[in-house]
Amino acid sequence: MIGAGHMGRYHAEKFAGLRGVKLAAVVDADGARAAALAEKLGAKPLTDYRELFGVADAAVIAVPTDRHHAVARDCLQHGLHLLIEKPIATTLAEADELIALAGKKRLVLQVGHVERYNKAFRALVARMQQPVFIEAERLAAFKQRGAEVDVVLDLMIHDLDLACALARAEPSAVSATGFRVLTNATDIANARIEFENGCVANLSASRVSQAAVRKLRVFQPGLYVSADLQGGKLRYVRQSQGEIEQLDESHPSGDALADQAAAFVSAIRKKSSVEIDGHQGRRALELALTVGRLVRERLRKFE
């Protein structure tokens, strides 16, 4: 486990709990933080990730985004399978290098778009065959953690990835707007994504909200679905014989992070591909970078 901060702690706990998996080490530049988590989970504390080489088979990278590329490249060059927290990197060139290196070394490269393993989302995507409109709202209170990137790379990137998975098509056009509130980067953003098959997604994200919200609404001919991804609740609405039918589903017991960890381990053991690989991580990054650029261009008009 490389990075023992907020997300690193959760990742480490999930892998430590997987049958047949040994958490070899917890790495963090803060030795005390690494030691505290390692002692709790029966692992070795380290302050230099390079000490993992030749010891571990795989690694999870949960360091700040601007260090993803350098750490991941080093790990891949030394034969480690990788699960990298989203976003995969800070630039497309960095992402491309990691994807190529993983392919050359025949290593698993999975990107941590954990919402794909949300049981409510998985149930929803299985029911939606031809989405024509997607609407997502992701709001969170401000935290200093993650503030090194804008709200698009911090939060909206989740829904950019989910929209691509639902649309089942490549993006063809993007427009966006946003604002700075508490940081020098964008804190609130809205994006409209058009896909090659005609589907449209309207996504909103804020990291300066009073309450946490993770809502997703999807429309296709004859069916509308509203999802509360945080509460694990789905509501399907359709018309049947002139009457409006409503069906509620609940998926409260899922552990998306544990399911993601299990999928990573399974891909390594079976030498198979992963659902959210480097290419899908790159697509989400490309959309996020495009949205961020469009927001900054719009903001400059008011400076």
Locate the domains of the chain by residue range: 6-114+259-275, 116-254+286-300
pLDDT tens sequence across 245-293: 999 999 976 799 999 999 999 999 999 999 999 999 999 999 999 999 9
Q: Which residues pair with 213 in a beta bridge?
A: 139
Calculate the alpha carbon distances from 276 to 65, 117, 175, 237, 239 in Å.
Answer: 18, 10, 25, 29, 35
Same fold, 6-114+259-275 and 116-254+286-300: no
Question: Smallest Cα–Cα separation from 109: which of 287, 255, 279, 237?
Answer: 279
| CA distance linking residue 252 with residue 232, whole number of Å | 5
> Binning pLDDT at 50, 70 and 90, where does residue 242 land?
confident
pLDDT at 146 over 80: no
pLDDT at 232 over 80: yes
pLDDT at 149 over 90: no
> Quick one: average pLDDT of 161-168?
96
pLDDT of residue 156: 96
CB 154 within 8 A of CB 171: no
> Binning pLDDT at 50, 70 and 90, where does residue 147 land?
low
CATH of 6-114+259-275, one of 3.90.1010.10, 3.40.50.720, 1.25.40.10, 3.20.20.70: 3.40.50.720
- Least confident window among 1-10, 122-131, 137-146, 268-277: 137-146
pLDDT of residue 36: 97
pLDDT at 144 over 70: no
pLDDT at 302 over 90: no
| Average pLDDT, rounded, for the chain | 94
> Binning pLDDT at 50, 70 and 90, where does residue 209 land?
confident
Token output for 136: 């997502």
Q: What is the pTM of this model?
A: 0.93
CB 22 within 8 A of CB 42: no
pLDDT of residue 145: 58
pLDDT of residue 299: 84
pLDDT of residue 211: 84
> Binning pLDDT at 50, 70 and 90, where does residue 66 land?
very high
pLDDT of residue 148: 66
Question: Smallest Cα–Cα separation from 3: which of 113, 101, 90, 112?
Answer: 112
> Quick one: average pLDDT of 134-156?
83
How would DSSP label each residue in the chain? Answer: -B--SHHHHHHHHHHHTSTT----EEE-SSHHHHHHHHHHHT-EEES-GGGGTTT-SEEEE-S-GGGHHHHHHHHHHTT-EEEEESSS-SSHHHHHHHHHHHHHHT--EEEE-GGGG-HHHHHHHHH-SS--EEEEEEE----STTTTS-HIIIIIHHHHHHHHHHHTS-EEEEEEEEE-SSSSS--EEEEEEEETTS-EEEEEEESS-SS-EEEEEEEETTEEEEEETTTTEEEEEEEETTEEEEEEEE-TT--HHHHHHHHHHHHHHHT---SSBHHHHHHHHHHHHHHHHHHHHHHHTT-
Question: Smallest Cα–Cα separation from 128: which of 209, 234, 25, 215?
Answer: 234
> Quick one: average pLDDT of 31-44?
97
CATH 3.90.1280.10, applies to 116-254+286-300: no
